[in-house]
Amino acid sequence: MKKKLKCTACLVLALLLTAVCGVSVLAVDPAQSDETPYRTYTYWEDSAAGGKKAVYVKPMYELKTVVSALDFSPAQPPELTDVAVGDDGSVYLLDGANSAVYVLDENYQLKDTLDSFTLDGEEISFADAQGIFADGSGMLYIADTENARVLVCKSTGEVQSELGLPDSELIPTGFKYRPTRVAVDSTGYVYIACDGSYYGAILYSPELEFLGFFGANSVQASVLDLLSSLWKRLTSNDIKRAADTLSLPFTMNDLYCGPDDFIYTTTGSSGTVHIQTGQVKLFNPGGKEVLGRGDFNFADTKIGLYYVTPLVQSMTGIAVDENGFFYVLDSTYGRVFWYDADCGLFSVFGGSASESNQNGAFTSPSGIELNGTDVLISDQKRGTLTVFSITEYGALVRGAQAITLQGDFAAAKDAWIEALAQDAANQMAYRGLAKACYDQGDNAGAMYYAKLGDDRETYAKAFEVRRTAFIERNIYLIVLAAVLVMIALVLLARRLRKRKSVEPRTGTLRAAFRIIPHPADGFAELCEKKRFSLPLAAALLVLLYVTTVLSDIGSGFSFAATDMQSYNAFYVLLSTVGLVLLFVFSNWLVCLLVGGLGNLREVFCVTCYCTLPLSFARVVRLAITHLMTPDEAAFLQIFMTVCTIYAAFLLIVGFIRLHDFSFGKFVATTAFTVVGMLILIFLIFLVLMLAQQVLTWLKTLYIEIRYR
């Protein structure tokens, strides 16, 4: 028996260690495509499990060409700070270093060089111009950053207007005007992003009159920030307040006018080593943010390192197509994130800021623009324009998703099937197919694809329809079965009552279960008659662990909220059995000091008995998740909370009875119990760390001896 136990323990330990060690590295290079210098990937999203997993996918964009401004013979090494595309397909490259604009035709061949600009007959030049925009009428808007103006000029270089810092009361004192990006909507409203402006973009009317600020970012504050602010208000004086730092919103670093004149903006790195969220915002023409994804991270999920320096993502550019699909440029990593209008990620392509010498990678990507489906990226230091074209596969997925988002799910079905044939790691395709099947009434198919694509919403909808159909088909059988079950239960109860067989000889089981309906009497009986059963208590504790695990991993798909990739029952063991044992030991120690009557065995039994409502709640939850949809089971959380409160109530009653405490004394001892638990945890960690250090020392010693 002992040997068997040992073997089992070893097996469990080995499995746990395996889990900790993780999956090994790949034997072969996982590069998807032979042609691209980067790897195309996407993130599989599982909102219920709360995770994103990076997955390599078939390239949706590939390098088309690289245009070097060096070929245009500039006087100084070129610095392409931005790129714009006109309605006629002309591409405008802004060379901030040479005060020039290179005009390319639709084949990216040089058509014209604008290096002479005149304002009122006088020749002018840019100073570190950062942004360019070409409107439908052939006018160019150039953000002449260091000269603090936006030039509105014809494609001949003749400047029509100059938008300097407006003379308005709305402009705060000390405002430094450094325009960096310009966008103009279809009605002629001009939006100017300024470096260091916390107030949003500057908005001009079509008549070029200053209207005010547009679309400012807001400061995100946590509860702690609010409490801290409140504390400072109460305790600070004027001098302290003056010396205090003010939290200001981050400035937008790019803006783009999308379909229906909605304005998309990006916010760059916050300067801290943190994963940011809400880097992309969408404002309606009224200036209201309508995307509502302030908690969504549009960039990669991990911060990488360059040797020891953290490389924080910085979304510095955005371009939007006619479907509202947007492309966001991460200038730190030189990657382009391609999203649909619902913020579903198609793929990530491009790469290698600063390091690579390859085409398709960047040194300092500065601007992003679209020319049809071509994605254009300007590189400031290299002085190049990199053009990516959509692949056949990318076009297929793009088309299918555009139809899907229009609600014509069935029309996209064939395209999604084709997409999956080419790449089975396309989550969008599974989700699209699930919706298409649901739309066509194929609920089994919808559930199948929804499960593969982690689409819980569509799964729940299809499940609901299928379940309703099943009930309608089998209503008589279901009613009959229900009646039979009820009769069987009644008969069973009668028989049991007659035989009184539910109570074993000791009566411990009956006594234990009596605490549920009659907590006070039940615990009184338990304590007075000493009917505690250690095996039963242990069994209930194991039951709690088992039901928790089952609830986590066995719930219906619509309810599953566990990331199975990282799930480990060992942690559940710690949070259930471990926590109970810790509580029991700590409580026993504390109560021993203050004259509690219960001994360790009794404390353990009372605690374990009180977990019964929790186990019951988990079993009920498990069953319901397979029968209902999340919408229908809204009460489930309330039920779980009630059971938890009831378990706590049982614990209070149980300990008051066991130790013969007043309620006040119970509260005090419980507080000390919690403190005791913390101390115990601290001691356990201390011992573990010490053991780890000793092991490390022994290992080092072994290596040194072996090395000799």
Q: State how far the alpha carbon of 621 is from the alpha carbons of 522, 542, 548, 552, in Å.
A: 26, 18, 10, 10
Report which of 315, 212, 326 is spatially closest to residue 258, judged by C-alpha positions. 326
Considering the complex, state which of residue 32 and residue 599 has its C-beta at the smaller distance from other proteins. 32
Considering the complex, state which of residue 53 and residue 154 has its C-beta at the smaller distance from other proteins. 53
Minimum gap (Å) between residue 443 Cβ and other proteins: 17
d(CA 338, CA 611): 49
Report which of 681, 2, 95, 651 is spatially closest to residue 382, judged by C-alpha positions. 95
Considering the complex, state which of residue 76 and residue 168 has its C-beta at the smaller distance from other proteins. 76
d(CA 283, CA 262): 6
What does the buried/exposed string (b/e) look like for 325-335 if buried means 16 or more CB atoms within 10 Å of the residue's CB? bbbbbbbbbbb
Minimum gap (Å) between residue 459 Cβ and other proteins: 15
- Other Cβ atoms closer than 10 A to 535: 8
- Please enumerate in sequence order all residues whose Cβ is within 8 A of that of 545, keeping only pairs 6 or more positions apart, or say none: 572, 573, 576, 577
Considering the complex, state which of residue 355 and residue 414 has its C-beta at the smaller distance from other proteins. 355
Minimum gap (Å) between residue 560 Cβ and other proteins: 12
Considering the complex, state which of residue 8 and residue 637 has its C-beta at the smaller distance from other proteins. 8
Minimum gap (Å) between residue 67 Cβ and other proteins: 12
Q: What angle do CA 101, 106, 108 make, to 5 degrees?
A: 60
Considering the complex, state which of residue 391 and residue 625 has its C-beta at the smaller distance from other proteins. 391
Considering the complex, state which of residue 571 and residue 682 has its C-beta at the smaller distance from other proteins. 571
- Total length of the chain: 708
Considering the complex, state which of residue 41 and residue 262 has its C-beta at the smaller distance from other proteins. 41
Contact (CB, 8 A) for 351 and 37: yes
Contact (CB, 8 A) for 56 and 32: yes
Minimum gap (Å) between residue 418 Cβ and other proteins: 9
Contact (CB, 8 A) for 629 and 658: no
Considering the complex, state which of residue 44 and residue 262 has its C-beta at the smaller distance from other proteins. 44
Instruction: Give the DSSP letter string of 503-566.
Output: S-SS-HHHHHHHTTT-HHHHHHHHHHHT---HHHHHHHHHHHHHHHHHHHHSS-TTT----TTT
Report which of 189, 63, 177 is spatially closest to residue 130, judged by C-alpha positions. 177
Considering the complex, state which of residue 74 and residue 131 has its C-beta at the smaller distance from other proteins. 74
Minimum gap (Å) between residue 307 Cβ and other proteins: 5
Minimum gap (Å) between residue 393 Cβ and other proteins: 8
Minimum gap (Å) between residue 36 Cβ and other proteins: 6
Q: State how far the alpha carbon of 663 is from the alpha carbons of 139, 517, 589, 595, 670, in Å.
A: 79, 21, 19, 15, 10
Minimum gap (Å) between residue 209 Cβ and other proteins: 44
Considering the complex, state which of residue 524 and residue 577 has its C-beta at the smaller distance from other proteins. 577
Tokens of 18: 């395996």
Minimum gap (Å) between residue 97 Cβ and other proteins: 12
Considering the complex, state which of residue 385 and residue 650 has its C-beta at the smaller distance from other proteins. 385
Residue 34 is classified by DSSP as S
d(CA 213, CA 222): 26
Minimum gap (Å) between residue 253 Cβ and other proteins: 22
d(CA 467, CA 518): 38
- Please enumerate in sequence order all residues whose Cβ is within 8 A of that of 407, keeping only pairs 6 or more positions apart, or say none: none
Minimum gap (Å) between residue 245 Cβ and other proteins: 30
Which helix (H) or strand (E) segment is 392 a member of? helix 392-405
